[in-house]
Amino acid sequence: MPDLYTVSARYYDEAYASADDLQDVQFYVEVARRFGGPVLELACGTGRVLLPFAQNGISIDGVDSSPAMLEQLNKKLAQQEASVRQRVSVFSGDLRSFRGERRYGAVIIPFRPLQHMYTLDDQIAALKTAAFHLTDDGVLAFDVFYPRPESMLAGIGEEKLELEWNTKDDPPKTIRRSVRKDSVDKIAQHFSATYLYRTYRDGKLIREETAPLKMSWYTYPHLQALFLLAGLEPVEEYGDFDRTPMNNDSRQMIFVMRRSR
Ligand SMILES: C[S@@+](CC[C@H](N)C(=O)[O-])C[C@H]1O[C@@H](n2cnc3c(N)ncnc32)[C@H](O)[C@@H]1O
pLDDT digits (tens, 9 = 90+) for 174-218: 999 999 999 999 999 999 999 999 999 999 999 999 999 999 999
Per domain, the residue ranges of the chain are 8-147+217-259, 149-216
Best probe residue, ligand 1, of 1, 53, 66 (max atoms within 8 Å of C-beta): 66
Distance of CA 201 to the CA centre of its chain: 30
Q: Contact, 139 vs 211, CB < 8 A?
A: no
Decide the pairing of beta strands 60-64 and 232-238: unpaired
Q: Tell me which residue of 129, 56, 40 sits closest to 90, measured CA to CA.
A: 40
Q: What pLDDT, on a 0 to 100 scale, did the predictor assign at position 153?
A: 86
DSSP alpha helix (H) spans, 36-189: 50-55, 67-78, 82-86, 120-132, 149-152
pLDDT tens digits for 79-120? 999 999 999 999 999 999 999 999 999 999 999 999 999 999
Q: Contact, 100 vs 85, CB < 8 A?
A: no
CATH tag, 8-147+217-259: 3.40.50.150
Q: What pLDDT, on a 0 to 100 scale, did the predictor assign at position 37?
A: 86
Q: Tell me which residue of 181, 43, 204 sits closest to 109, measured CA to CA.
A: 43
Question: Does the CB atom of residue 211 touch ligand 1 within 6 A?
Answer: no
User: Is residue 33 within a helix (H) or strand (E), and if so which, with residue range?
Assistant: helix 25-35
Residue 150: pLDDT band (50, 70, 90) is: confident
Residue 1: pLDDT band (50, 70, 90) is: confident
Tell me the CA–centroid distance for residue 118 and ligand 1, in Å. 13
